[in-house]
Structure 1
Amino acid sequence: MSALYTVTASRFTLERTPFGKLVLTNESGECFEGVVPVRAFPIQSPEDGISLVSTDGKEVAWVDLLSDVPQSAQDLIRAELATREFMPVIERIVSVTSYSTPCTWTVETDRGTTEFVLRGDEDIRRIGKDNALLIADAHGIQYLVRDQFAMDTHSKRVLDRFL
């Protein structure tokens, strides 16, 4: 049975191999190749609570606050998270084909303009205590609205019709 290694941020080193894998070395000198960072609270607190998990799914390190680790490790963790996470942020709703579902939405995101199909009203969920929304399209892609009340008037009207 393998042991669970939970170490503080100051007690491990993190490096990237020439093949692109992250290698964590803990204070005992044990190396774990292919570790993957996983956010505990990806939407509400993306910089708090990050687990570094080995290839067999065991946590080998825990980071309470990403800002507590050295900048080089922060950069490696953020880069790895960016390659694994894909959640476009909706900045503006351009149009919807209908106010009944299913319907096609045309939106402007932080990654460009796109279209997706909203299957039902239940695919729009409020998250957290803020005014954030999570919208799932027909293919399972999650879109984030950071603050529904900060959007332009047209976008707010469209969201009001579906909420």
Structure 2
Amino acid sequence: MSPYQKPHMLERDSLGRLVLIDAGGNRNVGVYPVRAFPITAPGAGISLIDQSGKELCWFDDVGAIPEAELGLIEEEMAAREFMPVIEKIIKVSTFATPSIWDIETDRGPTRIRLKGEEDIRRIAGNTLLIADSNGLQFLIKDSTQLDKVSKKLLDRFR
């Protein structure tokens, strides 16, 4: 099967692994989806990869994936992708680094430690990626959409 053809069928096996059955009936066990542009264009470009990292299938657009298969792909990506979105910056311990930030994310409140200003990176436009001292990545989708207090606190570090 060419890596650019749609799979014949996608299913889960009894162990919960994703299985791609190609047009020739070959079962590829343990495949996983990878987004081409997970932050800037999450709906564009998804690849199904085997356990050795070989691309088995490519979708230019999420809309091209049949609904049942898309459900399995989204379940798998939700289990693999973990990038909380910062919705609000409550307070920072100091405007020098390192500093402790109390934040609200889409997964609830938390506290992160920012080692240095270089841990705040602009990805595209107003999208920011913040790495805490433990290596976790936090996303601010659009810094202009934060509340006034959050923007003021963030501006002290950029």
Structure 2 residue aligned with 1:147: 142
Deviation for aligned residue 1:5? 4.0
For structure 1, the 5+ residue unaligned runs are none
Deviation for aligned residue 1:8? 2.4
**What is the DSSP-based 3-state SS (H/G/I as helix, E as strand, rest coil) of the residue aligned with 1:162?**
coil
Give structure 1 regions of 4+ aligned residues with deviation exceeding 6 angstroms: none
Provide the rounded CA distance (Å) in 2 between the counterparts of 1:49 and 1:13.
19
Structure 2 residue aligned with 1:13: 9
**What is the DSSP-based 3-state SS (H/G/I as helix, E as strand, rest coil) of the residue aligned with 2:156?**
helix
Structure 2 residue aligned with 1:137: 132
Structure 2 residue aligned with 1:41: 37
Structure 1 residue aligned with 2:118: 122
CA-atom RMSD in angstroms: 1.1
1:85 pairs, out of 81, 85, 100, with 81
Provide the rounded CA distance (Å) in 1 between the counterparts of 2:118 and 2:72.
36
**What is the DSSP-based 3-state SS (H/G/I as helix, E as strand, rest coil) of the residue aligned with 2:95?**
coil
- Asked if structure 2 preserves the Cα contact closer than 8 Å seen for 1:5 and 1:59, the reply is no
Structure 1 residue aligned with 2:18: 22
- Asked if structure 2 preserves the Cα contact closer than 8 Å seen for 1:91 and 1:145, the reply is yes
Deviation for aligned residue 1:55? 1.2
- Equivalent runs, 1:26-105 vs 2, <5 Å: 26-105=22-101
Aligned residues: 158
* TM-score using structure 1 length: 0.93
For structure 2, the 5+ residue unaligned runs are none
